[in-house]
Structure 1
Amino acid sequence: MKSNFDVAVIGGGPCGAIAAERLAQSDHSVVLVDPDNKIKPCGGAIPSRALKDFEISEDQLVARANAARVIAPSGNAVEMRIGDIGFVGMVDRETFDPYLRARAEQAGARFVRGKLAGIDTGQNGSLDLKVDGTDPHNPGTTEHLNARMVIGADGANSAVRRLMFPAKKKPPYVFAYHEIVESPAVPDPDIFQRDRCDVVYDGRISPDFYGWVFPHGGQTSVGCGSAVKGHNLRDATSDLRDRAGLTGQRTIRREGAPLPLKPMRRWDNGQNVLLAGDAAGTVAPSSGEGIYYAMLCGNLSADAVAECLATGQASALRQARRRFMAEHGRIFFILGIMQAVWYRSDGLRERFVTMCADPDVQRLTWESYLNKRLVRRDPLGHIRVFFKDLAQLAGLPASQK
């Protein structure tokens, strides 16, 4: 079987699978490597526009959320309804990731079930990859692959980054943990609704991030994240389950992993390797949203690698980061400021939730999330939000008009 490829994509999550599919569609020989034995802890939320942008079949949605409820340390809660401008689609990574990998195979990529164990540079400048097999039906196998280019889309603990970049080159992250539990058959609507995502801002749940309860139809993702060493995420998740009326529900699986929160300054090695998705740090600060940005990175990375292969210019690899930051750098910057300012204490979290009751804040939040860009058609709305933001920071009463 062929072992020489134009591109080896390491990691078959949303980023790597989309990259492999796009490259295969453009007649490049592609191998997609993934262990196929882990499920990333993830709330599973994608904006409705993702269905069109990445041609996602609607049957991949296990639920649609039409609202979010933000909850303060005091228990004060604000419900934010989306209205008729879209919805938050919910996917289950247990089925969504294999669906994307199958699409890549159908486009012509070869799928290798395994884990990257090593990379060496060959005499002709190509890359020799050692892949240890993870197929339970064929254990202990090792496969050697050769590729002109490598895309490292293998997550926050990227083996590609570790093997091909300096040790200090990695993004900051929080550690995320969640439990997938059965949704209640007859829930108490005051504490759990099937079409609503709950986001909990409470230092007892997370001293520097947040907790979540995201219904997935018959299942629910409940979890939290934190970068504070010693904070017990399992205990915090147990508390969240109590609050949401999920204590007695059967636990289906438990998962934990680091979650990067800042894009790296450089994604390529200047030659033949490009990082993408979580490996490059493209998870939104403040919100932790990653699936949409990962799939976008998959497309941008595929395009950059294709240009590099066509022109022989390694500088083409830099276009992936440049295009991503041109489109989303500003909103990542703003979300980073939000996290740095509002997540510092429970007092500030309380004010943040109060601010979310404002109609301008809700409208601009949903339009920016669903459209994946800052809303520019309403500058007065941004000005109103800016001054209300200052009022909340100063502890002054803000007009809700």
Structure 2
Amino acid sequence: MYDVVVIGGGPSGAIAAEDLARAGRKVALLDKAGRIKPCGGAIPPRLIADFEIPDDLIVARISTARMVSPTGRSVDIPIENGFVGMVDRKDFDEYLRDRAVAAGAERLTGTFIRILRGDTTAVVWRDRETGEERHAVTRLVIGADGARSAVARAEVPGGREIPYVIAYHEIIAAPTPNSGHDAPQDRPAPTGYDPTRCDVIYDGQISPDFYGWVFPHGRTASVGMGTGVSGVDLKAATASLRATAGLSDCETIRREGAPIPLRPLDRWDNGRDVVLAGDAAGVVAPSSGEGIYYAMIGGRVAATAAQAALTSGRAKDLQLARKLFMREHKTVFRVLRTMQDAYYKSDERRERFVSLCHDVDVQRLTFEAYMNKKLVRARPMAHLRIGAKNVAHLLRLVPETYA
């Protein structure tokens, strides 16, 4: 008998399992193993601090973000007072799973099938090694099994309707300084590769409704894109992005694709014995598509809710997961959703969005919010100026320039 079975061993599930194990609960972590989620791999300083991530997992330190418009114009945004860390999900996720096991969680390797209820509740899963069906009897279940969560679809109202985009990327061998891929040092180009810079490409030819990216990972790099538009050839779009960036000749190490949810579910629990976490609950930031930090926070609040329900015996305490998450992050998600809805509709809008990113107020407040994971309230006049500039750009009252 387990207190909790966590289904899904990504960052969300691993953190939930670790937190519950450290609290003295008997926990199983069920994971398929071998799957690597497509992800740019960016993590902010707050994640590194809050979750005690060791330096050796950070494969690159990013000091600049470059926004590239549909016409190829670019804006470089310096990351002040710190850096954005980059991780390779192949190693990062496994480290978190190992840490959960070290804390006392039991790792089960296999595939979730269903939840069976009778006198007890049991998670039915297929053992990867033997192919046999097994039962894990438990008091509670945390579903952390991704955007098209089988747990959410079967157990939680609204779990079948969550909207998502499909993300695809290719991990490539990063170009070396003398490989001919780098931009001239005295004339930076929008397509030049820089191991300390993340490039975000807003171009309808790459993605009609989201963006493409080139993210350094030290010896490797992640090049990819996302879209919710059916019929888009993700591999062809990524090949075009690699060609534009001068990265076509770099060795391709692996290719990965997966759905990314677009908004949090209205409900994260079934009112009985299941609560969702991470992508299964829809907690990926709109506009940016950032998911690692929010997944780990989602795992933490799911563990907190499970601990409360186990202690009190009240199933309604599972509602704490969504309440705690939204109390901290609802405003940021709402602002980012408004931004995505306003600027991602067309290349003309994306052109204006990149123009807006040239503004110093926008740059500073955006990255302060990203680094610290909260809206900055200490500069009210800057907020007012940004609001006015935003309206001016949307109403086409300013030219598409970077002056």
Q: What band does the TM-score fall into relative to the shorter chain?
A: over 0.9
| Pair 1:362-2:363 in alignment | yes
For residues 363-390 of structure 1, the C-alpha deviation after alignment (integer angstroms, 9 at most, x for no partner) is: 0010000010000000110100010111
Give the counterpart letter for 1:232 in structure 2.
D
Q: Secondary structure at the match of 2:304?
A: helix
| Pair 1:139-2:133 in alignment | no
The 3 A distance-change label for structure 1 pair 167 and 266 is: closer
Correspondence for 1:387? 388
Give the counterpart letter for 2:331 in structure 1.
R
For residues 110-133 of structure 1, the C-alpha deviation after alignment (integer angstroms, 9 at most, x for no partner) is: 00011101211122xx42111112
| Pair 1:111-2:102 in alignment | no
Runs of 5+ in structure 1 lacking a partner?
Answer: none
Q: Residues of 1 paired with 2:121 and 2:277: CA distance?
A: 18
For residues 340-377 of structure 1, the C-alpha deviation after alignment (integer angstroms, 9 at most, x for no partner) is: 11000100100100110010000001000001000000
Give the alignment partner of residue 19 of structure 2, picking from 14, 17, 22: 22
For residues 21-41 of structure 1, the C-alpha deviation after alignment (integer angstroms, 9 at most, x for no partner) is: 000000000000000021000
Correspondence for 2:122? 128
Q: Secondary structure at the match of 2:266?
A: coil
Q: Residues of 2 paired with 1:65 and 1:12: CA distance?
A: 27
Correspondence for 1:204? 205
Correspondence for 1:316? 317
What percentage of aligned pairs have identical amino acids? 53
Give the alignment partner of residue 174 of structure 2, picking from 162, 177, 183: 183
Q: Residues of 1 paired with 2:193 and 2:326: CA distance?
A: 37
Correspondence for 1:340? 341
Give the alignment partner of residue 55 of structure 2, picking from 58, 78, 103: 58
Correspondence for 1:41? 38
Q: CA deviation at 1:163?
A: 2.3
Could you tell me whether the CA contact under 8 Å between 1:48 and 1:89 is conserved in 2?
A: yes
| Pair 1:262-2:263 in alignment | yes
For residues 228-247 of structure 1, the C-alpha deviation after alignment (integer angstroms, 9 at most, x for no partner) is: 01011111100111121110
1:208-287 equivalence runs, <5 A: 208-287=209-288
Correspondence for 1:158? 149
Q: Residues of 2 paired with 1:348 and 1:114: CA distance?
A: 45
Q: CA deviation at 1:6?
A: 0.3
The 3 A distance-change label for structure 1 pair 347 and 400 is: closer
Could you tell me whether the CA contact under 8 Å between 1:69 and 1:199 is conserved in 2?
A: yes
| Pair 1:82-2:79 in alignment | yes
Could you tell me whether the CA contact under 8 Å between 1:12 and 1:32 is conserved in 2?
A: yes
Q: Residues of 2 paired with 1:62 and 1:379: CA distance?
A: 36
Q: Secondary structure at the match of 2:37?
A: coil
Q: Secondary structure at the match of 2:306?
A: helix
Q: Residues of 2 paired with 1:394 and 1:170: CA distance?
A: 34
Runs of 5+ in structure 2 lacking a partner?
Answer: 184-188
Q: Residues of 2 paired with 1:168 and 1:113: CA distance?
A: 24
Give the alignment partner of residue 174 of structure 1, picking from 160, 165, 171: 165
Work out the number of aligned pairs and report it.
Answer: 392
Q: Residues of 2 paired with 1:195 and 1:304: CA distance?
A: 39
Q: CA deviation at 1:166?
A: 4.6
Q: Residues of 2 paired with 1:155 and 1:168: CA distance?
A: 11
Give the counterpart letter for 1:213 in structure 2.
V
Could you tell me whether the CA contact under 8 Å between 1:9 and 1:32 is conserved in 2?
A: yes
Could you tell me whether the CA contact under 8 Å between 2:157 and 2:267 is conserved in 1?
A: no
Correspondence for 2:7? 10
Correspondence for 1:296? 297
For residues 179-229 of structure 1, the C-alpha deviation after alignment (integer angstroms, 9 at most, x for no partner) is: 000000124133110000000001111111000000100100000000101
Give the counterpart letter for 1:184 in structure 2.
P
Q: Residues of 1 paired with 2:83 and 2:240: CA distance?
A: 28
Give the structure-2-normalised TM-score. Answer: 0.95
Could you tell me whether the CA contact under 8 Å between 1:35 and 1:133 is conserved in 2?
A: no
Q: Which range is displaced more, 376-385 or 183-192?
A: 183-192
| Pair 1:325-2:322 in alignment | no
Q: Which range is displaced more, 339-348 or 164-173?
A: 164-173
Could you tell me whether the CA contact under 8 Å between 1:132 and 1:140 is conserved in 2?
A: yes
Give the counterpart letter for 1:130 in structure 2.
V
Give the structure-1-normalised TM-score. Answer: 0.95
Q: CA deviation at 1:141?
A: 2.9
Q: Residues of 1 paired with 2:209 and 2:402: CA distance?
A: 27
CA RMSD of aligned residues (A): 1.4
The 3 A distance-change label for structure 1 pair 192 and 303 is: same
Q: CA deviation at 1:169?
A: 4.0
Correspondence for 2:70? 73
Correspondence for 2:88? 92
